[in-house]
Structure 1
């Protein structure tokens, strides 16, 4: 018999996912997501559903579970989680990051909010729906995918390219929403991710001439050249751009008129940013600017040899409507005369993606959220980074990022824990998210 309160069940499943230690360091042989595919397949095995596993590489497995609807024309929904987590340095933690310790109603561990909490709560919700005899009109799909933490090459991107029918639905809900904004007047304001910035990362190479390092005068040192390029990129300030999704966020956040005016004027916004708390300022800046961040620099072969080659990795996130040419113009402006010496060795060019808010699913999410969190209102926003929904929106899928967090984990705290130390989630958040998925499925698909 299924207990009325899902808290214990979702807590246990989350702990087991954390303990599987599916650490993705970006190499093909890491991740080991098959461990969690085994766990979830066993957990969700039940009459009435189809379970399939897909492996882009050995050990890099994704699980897809389908509950077919009775009406092929009815809207379908994908609940998408991921099972991999980022590496961790245990020295910065107060709890073992893979022990999944439960203490005072809080589960501690890598992946507790990114995003094993939602992957677990989605699975528990599906199991409870099945146990209740739920038979939807529209098809419900649950996916626990590999490799989200390293660009989705062996996970969602691979599935879209090689097994599109397995996960193609009309709508998808994944991570990055539902934690209460720490500002604004009135009832709780719950951000819902409706857009994601585009990725335009680069590997740049610059060249020099080798020479003996004991006589550096007049040499053409590739490392020095690369260091100057990194400096120029670091101090470059692309202008703010007030796009439609940002306006929707500001209008819905419950802010005063002066605050709304400041945040929707590009000129005023630039003056306001330095006065804000750093966490809030970073979020606002990321939502309103194309960001260019040099992150990795390699050069030289030996301490006593002037470097003849250096390479720079640059993380770039572009706003809706910006193209590859727009990014190249920004780089040329930032780097100046050294731009002509840069060779683009490798380039990622993925457009920003945006989903509409005037949809039946958005309305159901709003209704269910207000029921579970009294007087709550949704606030659409653009995610400065990326989720697996970015692979599905170009295929015509409407994608949102949501979940529900308790008052103990507001929006700014949630963001601060992603890829950080002492990641944790409270059991009330786990319960709320589980109830959310159950009620959304019943309200949207039944």
Structure 2
């Protein structure tokens, strides 16, 4: 390891000639090659314990980082939560870590697993990593292997630079994000907290365009899963008179859930989203009014689903169960609800809202709690967020808009520990939010070389800004 340097007095804004910034052209080519290699490992996670087998992609990263490790500046850990469910943590030690209280430990949090595919829906091999007409094809190309590859490339280049950074740069490439993170980030922070220790972090779910703005995720909705238990009166299916099938009652509840939706609750990020994305002043005014918002949603086109999701608590029936055999009228049915919450929402408030939505049906329904977590938010006035703004402006000549993600990511685990974490990326000008969402978990997933290059260039500036 290098000797500890004296306390840094350098200012934080990045200089283009910083030793931590390397040739964008060469690094982009390496990032693309690494992305294609990660796609080909096909670490498909179907939620089962033995799925994923992320150890294969960990080995790819180890080979890629071999020169960086050989410098003696980088320490790596391969940590398995279950056989084959491996995560890689690579830490480039900074000269001022431990001596300068302002020297950050910047985490680059990427995942290695991908969701399953339906091969019949693809026009190319989903695990071929093909580079065709300036686009890299394959499952995980957008979600989020392109960023994991860029994170690894930036750490390698920083380790090979003439001077080490003033603070730590930490690649955290994890298993099981697509399965909820129990075999990945959750396990790591419980079992190896010192290994993954960072003071700030970048992860996924950013970079799409909102008008001329680049969206950076600063918050995620929470999850408050519920199971509705609905009782009926059983009987022989050949004599239904006098019985009261739980299946019919399940249908009544579903109809109620489809007719009644929670009201809009516009949080602090809503106005920024409307200002960035909506150009029509009259439509923007309607969207800022909780009473008129729902009537305005059909005028938003492809962004309507996102606008609806982040403006309220949502409730989606996902799993239905009733009956055991075809000739018995079921005495019980259940409905599993995926409920996504806004920042500050408590479990008690979710239960109360659910009973309000169910109305007269609520008295005969039991509500069971499923797995969940609170919504998380990072402030947008941190040094790291300011560095993101400067980098995006320098690379893309575009302002940044902070947004809330409707879904979840591993970044929430760091936020729960009090660590500012942001969904990063810098996609090309044609990458609207709608295009981004179509690529995530969709057929024919692919990302263009331009977006990889832009994201890498911005990331290099952020690292130089925070650590040079």
Q: Is the 8 A contact 2:92 2:155 kept in 1?
A: no
Give the Cα–Cα distance (whole angstroms) in 2 for the partners of residues 3 and 371 of structure 1.
Answer: 14
C-alpha deviation, 1:2, in angstroms: 7.9
The answer to whether structure 1 residue 159 and structure 2 residue 188 are counterparts is yes
Aligned twin of 1:18: 39
Q: Is the 8 A contact 1:88 1:110 kept in 2?
A: yes
Aligned twin of 2:412: 390
In structure 2, runs of 5+ residues without a counterpart are: 1-21
Structure 1 residues 56 and 209, CA, compared in 2 at 3 Å: closer, same or farther?
farther
- Once the two structures are superposed, what CA deviation does each residue of 1:113-147 show, in whole Å capped at 9, x if it has no partner? 00111111111121122222341111111111111
- Secondary structure in structure 1 of the residue aligned to 2:349: helix
Aligned twin of 1:242: 266
- Once the two structures are superposed, what CA deviation does each residue of 1:275-295 show, in whole Å capped at 9, x if it has no partner? 221x21001111101100001
Q: How many residues align?
A: 439
Structure 1 residues 344 and 159, CA, compared in 2 at 3 Å: closer, same or farther?
farther
TM-score normalised according to structure 2 size: 0.90
The answer to whether structure 1 residue 297 and structure 2 residue 320 are counterparts is yes
In structure 1, runs of 5+ residues without a counterpart are: none
Aligned twin of 1:95: 124
- Secondary structure in structure 2 of the residue aligned to 1:118: helix
The answer to whether structure 1 residue 54 and structure 2 residue 85 are counterparts is no
The answer to whether structure 1 residue 317 and structure 2 residue 317 are counterparts is no
The answer to whether structure 1 residue 67 and structure 2 residue 75 are counterparts is no
- Secondary structure in structure 2 of the residue aligned to 1:30: coil
Give the Cα–Cα distance (whole angstroms) in 2 for the partners of residues 348 and 266 of structure 1.
Answer: 30
C-alpha deviation, 1:251, in angstroms: 3.7
Aligned twin of 1:401: 423
Aligned twin of 1:425: 447
Aligned twin of 1:258: 282
C-alpha deviation, 1:245, in angstroms: 1.7
Q: Choose from 369, 376, 395 the match for 1:353.
A: 376
C-alpha deviation, 1:253, in angstroms: 4.4
Aligned twin of 1:218: 242
* Greater Cα shift, 377-386 or 404-413: 404-413
Q: Is the 8 A contact 2:110 2:174 kept in 1?
A: yes
Aligned twin of 2:355: 332
Q: Choose from 170, 174, 179 the match for 1:150.
A: 179
- Once the two structures are superposed, what CA deviation does each residue of 1:313-351 show, in whole Å capped at 9, x if it has no partner? 210111112111111112111223333333344423321
C-alpha deviation, 1:362, in angstroms: 1.1
C-alpha deviation, 1:445, in angstroms: 1.2
Q: Is the 8 A contact 2:78 2:87 kept in 1?
A: yes
Aligned twin of 1:288: 311
Give the Cα–Cα distance (whole angstroms) in 1 for the partners of residues 446 and 114 of structure 2.
Answer: 13
Q: Is the 8 A contact 1:148 1:156 kept in 2?
A: yes
- Secondary structure in structure 2 of the residue aligned to 1:165: coil
- Secondary structure in structure 1 of the residue aligned to 2:171: strand
* Greater Cα shift, 253-262 or 395-404: 253-262
* Greater Cα shift, 104-113 or 349-358: 349-358
- Secondary structure in structure 2 of the residue aligned to 1:241: coil
Aligned twin of 1:128: 157
C-alpha deviation, 1:256, in angstroms: 4.8
Q: Is the 8 A contact 2:228 2:336 kept in 1?
A: yes
* Greater Cα shift, 162-171 or 390-399: 162-171
Q: Choose from 32, 36, 42 the match for 2:53.
A: 32
Q: Is the 8 A contact 2:391 2:459 kept in 1?
A: no
- Secondary structure in structure 2 of the residue aligned to 1:31: coil
Q: Choose from 367, 373, 389 the match for 2:390.
A: 367
Structure 1 segments, 4+ long, off by >4 Å, are 1-4
TM-score normalised according to structure 1 size: 0.94
Aligned twin of 2:457: 435
- Once the two structures are superposed, what CA deviation does each residue of 1:367-414 show, in whole Å capped at 9, x if it has no partner? 11111112x000011111111111111211011101111124332201
Q: Is the 8 A contact 1:234 1:294 kept in 2?
A: no
Structure 1 residues 300 and 236, CA, compared in 2 at 3 Å: closer, same or farther?
same
The answer to whether structure 1 residue 380 and structure 2 residue 402 are counterparts is yes
